[in-house]
Structure formats: C-alpha cells, structure tokens
Amino acid sequence: MIRTDKILLKHGSGGKSMATLVHEIFMRYFDNSILSEKTDAARIDVPNQKLVFTTDAFVVDPIFFPGGDIGKLAVCGTVNDLAVTGAKPLFLSASFIIEEGFPVTDLIRVVKSMAKASAEAGVKIVAGDTKVVHKGKCDKIFISTSGIGTIGLKQIPIATGKRMKPGDHIIVTGYVGDHGTAVMAAREGFNMQIRVRSDCAPLNHMIQRLLKAGIDITFMRDATRGGVATVLNEAVEGKSLGISVNEQKVPCRSAVRGFCELLGFDPLYIANEGKAVIIVRPGDALKALHVLRKDQYGRLAADIGTITRNNPGRVILQTQTGSQRYLDMLSGDQLPRIC
Amino acid sequence: MKKIPYIDVYRDQTLLKDISSRIHAISKKEVQFMEVCGGHTMAIHQFGIRQMLPPTIKLLSGPGCPVCVTSRIYIDKAIRIGQMKDVIITTYGDLIRVPGSSSSLERERGNGMDVRMVYSAMDAVVIARENPTRQVVFLGIGFETTAPASAITIIEAKKSGLVNFSLLSAHKVMPPVMQQLIHEGIRINGYIAPGHVSAITGTRMYQPIVENFHIPVVVSGFEAADILHSILLLVRQVESGTPRVEVQYKRVVKSEGNTIAQERMRQVFSPADEPWRGFGVIPESGLRIRKAFSTFDADLRFPLKMKESPEPKGCICGNILKGLQAPADCRLFAKKCTPDDPVGACMVSSEGACAAAYKYAT
C-alpha cells in the first residue's frame, strides 16, 4: 500500500516504495501482458512491416486543464506523431519525472487518463521509468513518451511532402486554437472565464480511415506548437511550391477568436493537440472531407486552401478584408500586447 | 471562421471596397499620413490597408509603440534593479524581449532573475501582497492608455499601506511627440490618432496641432473599416483645406474622454521631460510620480546612476520611429535583425514597425 498522500524521494529510489508505486499505480492502470512480465525491456511482436518511431516530452502548465491533462497529452501527442506518418501506432513507453511532494491522487488521475487515452487509441504502454526529484527541481510532473508504430511496406511516404503538386488541396480537421486557448486561459493570473476545452485527442483511427478510403495524401502533420501557420510553412519550406490559404475558411470558434483579438494573438499560431493539416490531390478533397466529417474528431474538417506554383516556400493568406499577406512562421512566443 | 459580433462587420469586404472607392474618387493631392500608434501599424499590415489605397496616399508609421520608444537606459535600470537581492520584476509581456545595452529581461530571467509577466497592473500589487518579504517593482510603460491603470495601482498600494511595491515609470503622453515630429520637419499631412488614447484623454489635446500647424487629426478605431474610414476623413479635410480634429471612433471616444481616469492620472503623475528612443529627451512628454506618492517611485527607492550607451551599429530604429525611413531601408532588417533575434526595439514589440513589416510584408 502507498501509505503517503504525497510522492516522496523514496518513491524514485529503486527500493520497496518504488516497487509499490510501480505496482499499485502504473502496472494497475497500464495493465497489459507485456508490462506485467516486468522485464528491463519490453519484448514486442510486430508484423513484417516498416517501423516508425518517435519521442516527445510534455511539460504543460497547468497539468490539468479543461478538456485534458498532461497524461492525455503525453499519449495523444506521441500517437498523433506516429499517425500522421500514415503509421498504425502500437506501443508506447512512458517516463515520469515527478517533483517531491506531488499528490498521489494527482498522479493516479494522470495515469488513469493515460490509460484511457491509450485504450481509445488502441496502443499499449509497455515500458516506463520513474524518477522523483527534489522539490523545485521540476514543475510538478514531466512526462516523456516514445512510440512505435508500423507502416505497410508499400505505403508511400507522406510525411515529407515530396509528392505535393500545385493544385493540391489543404484540409484542416476542425476548429483551430482550442488547446492553446484552453491552457492559457486556465493559467494562474489570467482570470478569464472562457468556455473552450482542449481538443486533445488521438487521431490515428480517423487517419487510418482516410488511408483505407484510398485518399491520396501528399502531406500530413499534426498542428501542435506554432499552430496551423507553422505546419503550412514547414510543408513548403525549401520547396518550389507555395501555399494560398483563405482566412475565412479556417474553422475557428468565436470564443477562441475573441480571446485572440483581446490579447493580440492569431489563432493560426495557437497550439492544437487534436488537429491535423492534411494535403490531398484535388480530386480527393471532397471525398477526404466526407470521410473526416464522419469521425468525431473531424466533424468540422474544412478545405482551407491550395498548393500553388507562385510564392515558392511561402504561405500567402487571403484575408477576410480581401487583401493578401504573408503568413510567416511564428517568431519567439506570442506575447500579450501592452495596450 | 465563426463570426464575432462587433468585429466582423468592420472587416466586411463590400464595406471596405466602398470606402476605398470613395478615397480613390476624391484623393488628388500627394499626401503622407502618419499612424502614430503601434496598434494601428499592426492593423494596417494585418488587414492589408495599403493595398486599398490610391498611389497618392503614403502611410508612415510613427512613434506610438510603447516598447519601441522605451529608452535603453530604462531597460538597463530595470535589469540592475532585478539583479538586486529579493526583488521581483513584474512587467507586461512585450517588454521582456527588448534589448538594453547588453542584455534583456528575458535573458536575465534565464540567468535566474525573478521576472513575472502580468496581464494587468493590479496583478503586480497582488504579487506584492503575496510576497511581503520581497520588493515588487512594476515596469510602468505605455501611453495614456496604460498610465491610468498604473496610477490606480499606486493609489491602491498607498491605501492598503503596501510597503514593498513600487513603479518604475516610463509612461509617456502622446501630443508632445506628435508636435516634435512636425518641428523636426517631417512632412506629415495628417495624423491618424489612436482611439484608445482619446477614450481616456478626450480630443482637445490635439487642438494645438491643428491650430499651430494646420494638420488634420482623425481619432481612429482599430478595425479595418475604422482605419480606412479615418483615411477617407483625412483625405476630405486635406482636399478641402479645412484641417480639424475629427473623431472617427465615435462608438468609443467622447470629446471629454474618461474624466475619472484623467483625474487618477493627474493625482499620481506630473508631466516631466522624458527620453524617447530615437528622439532624445522631449520636454513634458513623460509622467513622473508626484511627491505625495514618492515612496512608490522605484526611481527613488533604487537610486542608480545609469550611463547612456550608443544605439547598436547600423540600427535605424530612430529614423523609423520618426517615419523618415522604412524598415526595408535598414541594412540589418530581416538579416541580422529578426523577431527571433532583434537588434532594434522596432523589431521586438509585436506592434513595432519592423516586426509588422517582417511578419506581414508581401
């Protein structure tokens, strides 16, 4: 039994207390046959396919926010990184760096949330590690997840965008800016009442459906930090292609727009955790929207622009006012304006 | 995009085309209008206002970005104070990236300085209450828009007997610099004046500009239609030769302004000579904390001798703030000086002319 209500240094020291913690929290909620073998490294069976492998670290503040928490984020973030390459995510590892004094109930809440997200995504957490650091040496809890997925031997690589052509359509899978807005508004000192929840979600099933429907995807990426604008810039960076985006077609909640207007932000730069930018052949755009809109995470998918021959390497925004301007990559953080 | 009431109507393409065609129809004289405020500079780029104007009208960006005109000495001083034992520096977000002569608050935060970003001046007072053993210094920058909020924090601090709170004032007022630009011989045929400043101050303060220099002033809102409409009003005044102070932003601005805010400002601050980046000292253009509140004056609480250092080599922020040169005229622009690694202040602030040109340039 864990007898304390706080995580203490001994819970990371490799002794009995750590064994109890691992057993009563991690093994209990992440429960699967591979993990329960309790070996130093997980032995996993993978089909005869190409492997994709990724890793990510999560340090969000606050750790609980409307629509999610750091645990859900740590699972969905890695699942989505795998999924947007066209892969089927299978296994995750999870490392926890916990600040001494962190409430055990909060840890359970985070771990339960990870278990739930993994179950939804259909992935297993098969390896992990825990370290406890002195108070003040980390902010509550940091989680790092790595993930392995598989991709068919014949699957054409879509992550690089090398097959993009002028005329290809750009789809975003729903409202932009929800996650960043929800987290910022939940931060201490903001005192802003706003009904926006993080969009944090595993997108792998939706993406697999798209691939199964035979949609010819020429580029795909999840629009996390830096938002949709950053992904669009990455798509054409160093290429002989440009992008034209119609601002009015970008789906965005009025609450998020209002929040951004107030602080001088642009929703196109705000982080998402459940949105992908998907570039498809022009003939497949309608079908792709049809498939996406049938999924709970793609109901508001929209066609927002096209790949162009003009302005190579740059993203041009057709603004609401009828003018045109560059939509550049984000420089530094977006900081609230003064007046 | 979902609609937002009170905003989208001012970005309507049909409306904008209509205003634009009216401007095209009556604009004959070659004119230069200056938007004084950084918020306007940003909006003009964001909405692509220049693309809607005839070639007869040139827009100049002025010195109304509070971060841009904050002197390097001020940043240096804030850093020196922040380096003292048991001090918390509180500031609006934009300021943390501004380079002083050798460092910035952002860099110092990386070195362990306690620099906290606040969204409201009152948050700084709250931090002071929560940290009674430490000195909390609020960096008061901005024009008549932010000065009342700073004044209220000081009144509040005095009322509640808070002994560990002080304000380092670099607050400035708008009209003197607008006159200074004309004195320096810069050709300005009309001012687009900031609507939020006039929401506080009213409009009478611009009367001397019209009377002494015969230059029209239109107090403008910040939406696309506001700015374009203000330009139309300026063109009408210029073409008919009848300069006056006119309010475009009628839904917010009253000619007498917000008299309560004015009173608080007067209660706490008195006019003082103030250094402006790119201009030097402009008489009576700053706001100093009055004697009655001197215990809350960080300048007095932390008396420091500061030395002026030269502007970085090649940086033409000074001329850009005066509308004499454009960001693209600068050798450093988009090369050595970018928003990620700014050399001059105009590249730092999200409302700086260089940052706007870099972000939105087409």
Q: Judged by CB atoms within 8 Å, which residues 53-112 of B form the interface with A?
A: 66-67, 92-97
Same domain, A146 and A197: no
CB A211, CB A217: distance < 8 Å: yes
Give the pLDDT confidence of A128-155 residue by residue, as tens digits.
999 999 999 999 999 999 999 999 988 8
CB B90, CB B113: distance < 8 Å: no
Using the Cβ of B39 and the Cβ atoms of chain A, whether some distance falls under 8 Å is answered with: yes
A185 to chain B: closest CA residue = B119
At B302, list the tokens.
């932390």
- Contact at CB, A331 and B360, closer than 8 angstroms: no
At A319, list the tokens.
């603004």
Same domain, A47 and A110: yes
Using the Cβ of A332 and the Cβ atoms of chain B, whether some distance falls under 8 Å is answered with: yes
| Closest approach of A258 to chain B, Cα-based (Å) | 7
Using the Cβ of B248 and the Cβ atoms of chain A, whether some distance falls under 8 Å is answered with: no
Q: Is B47 helix (H, G, I), strand (E, B) or coil?
A: helix
pLDDT band of residue B2 (cuts 50, 70, 90) is confident
Number of other CB atoms surrounding residue B251 within 10 Å: 10
CATH of the domain at A36: 3.30.1330.10
Using the Cβ of B177 and the Cβ atoms of chain A, whether some distance falls under 8 Å is answered with: no
pLDDT top residue among A160 and A1:
A160
Same domain, A200 and A263: yes
Looking at residue B269, its pLDDT comes to 98
Give the pLDDT confidence of B268-277 residue by residue, as tens digits.
999 999 999 8
Same domain, A101 and A17: yes
Give the pLDDT confidence of A170-206 residue by residue, as tens digits.
999 999 999 999 999 998 767 778 889 999 999 999 9
Q: Is the pLDDT of residue A72 over 60?
A: yes
Burial class (CB in 10 A: 0-12, 13-18, 19+), A269: buried
Number of other CB atoms surrounding residue A302 within 10 Å: 22
Task: Give domain B72-173+257-301's CATH architecture.
Answer: 3-Layer(aba) Sandwich (3.40)
Segment B195-207 shows an average pLDDT of 97
Pairing of strands B57-64, B31-37: parallel
Residue appearing with tokens 């003082």? B272
Looking at residue A331, its pLDDT comes to 73
Q: What total of structural domains would you count in chain A?
A: 2
Q: Which domain holds residue A113?
A: 9-151
Q: Please name the helix (run of DSSP H) or strand (run of DSSP E) that holds residue A131, with its range, or none.
A: strand A124-133
Domain definitions of chain B by residue range: 31-64+184-247, 72-173+257-301, 317-360
Same domain, A119 and A224: no
Q: Could you tell me if residue A156 is inside a domain?
A: no
| Closest approach of A276 to chain B, Cα-based (Å) | 17
Same domain, A30 and A98: yes
CATH of the domain at A228: 3.90.650.10
Same domain, A207 and A269: yes
Q: Judged by CB atoms within 8 Å, which residues 190-209 of B form the interface with A?
A: 196
Among A249, A316, A339, whose Cβ lies nearest the Cβ of B196? A339
Using the Cβ of A336 and the Cβ atoms of chain B, whether some distance falls under 8 Å is answered with: yes
Same domain, A124 and A214: no
- Contact at CB, A336 and B351, closer than 8 angstroms: no
Using the Cβ of A136 and the Cβ atoms of chain B, whether some distance falls under 8 Å is answered with: no
Q: Is B168 helix (H, G, I), strand (E, B) or coil?
A: strand
At B106, list the tokens.
């952002």
Q: Could you tell me if residue A317 is inside a domain?
A: yes
Q: Could you tell me if residue A224 is inside a domain?
A: yes
Are the folds of B31-64+184-247 and B72-173+257-301 the same? yes
A260 to chain B: closest CA residue = B4
Looking at residue A47, its pLDDT comes to 85
Query: For residues A337 and A262, what is the distance between their CA atoms, to the nearest angstrom?
Result: 9
Which alpha helices (H) appear in A85-237, and where do they start and end? 104-121, 178-186, 204-212, 227-236
Using the Cβ of A258 and the Cβ atoms of chain B, whether some distance falls under 8 Å is answered with: yes
Pairs across A and B, CB distance < 8 A = 111
Residues of chain A neighbouring B11 (CB-CB closer than 8 A)? 320-321
- Contact at CB, B94 and A335, closer than 8 angstroms: yes
Q: Is the pLDDT of residue A74 over 70?
A: yes
Number of other CB atoms surrounding residue B100 within 10 Å: 22
A338 to chain B: closest CA residue = B92
Segment A262-285 shows an average pLDDT of 95
Q: Could you tell me if residue A161 is inside a domain?
A: no
| Closest approach of B18 to chain A, Cα-based (Å) | 12
- Contact at CB, B2 and A254, closer than 8 angstroms: yes
pLDDT band of residue A156 (cuts 50, 70, 90) is confident
Specify the CATH class of B31-64+184-247 in words: alpha beta
Q: Could you tell me if residue A337 is inside a domain?
A: no
Using the Cβ of A257 and the Cβ atoms of chain B, whether some distance falls under 8 Å is answered with: yes
Give the pLDDT confidence of B159-186 residue by residue, as tens digits.
999 999 999 999 999 999 999 999 989 9
B223 to chain A: closest CA residue = A321
Segment B293-316 shows an average pLDDT of 91
- Contact at CB, B119 and A254, closer than 8 angstroms: no
Concatenating the DSSP letter of every residue in B124-169 gives HHHHHHH-TTSEEEEEE--STTTHHHHHHHHHHHHHTT-SSEEEEE
Same domain, A19 and A134: yes
Query: For residues B122 and B99, what is the distance between their CA atoms, to the nearest angstrom?
Result: 26
Q: Could you tell me if residue A164 is inside a domain?
A: no
Same domain, A193 and A85: no
Residues of chain B neighbouring A252 (CB-CB closer than 8 A)? 1-2
Looking at residue B168, its pLDDT comes to 97
- Contact at CB, B362 and A248, closer than 8 angstroms: no
- Cα B221 to Cα A327, B2, B228, B256, B343: the distances in Å are 24, 22, 10, 17, 31
| Closest approach of B62 to chain A, Cα-based (Å) | 16
Looking at residue B349, its pLDDT comes to 79
Q: Is the pLDDT of residue B205 over 90?
A: yes
- Contact at CB, B94 and A328, closer than 8 angstroms: no
Residues of chain A neighbouring B17 (CB-CB closer than 8 A)? 322
Same domain, A132 and A181: no
CB B28, CB A337: distance < 8 Å: no
A256 to chain B: closest CA residue = B2
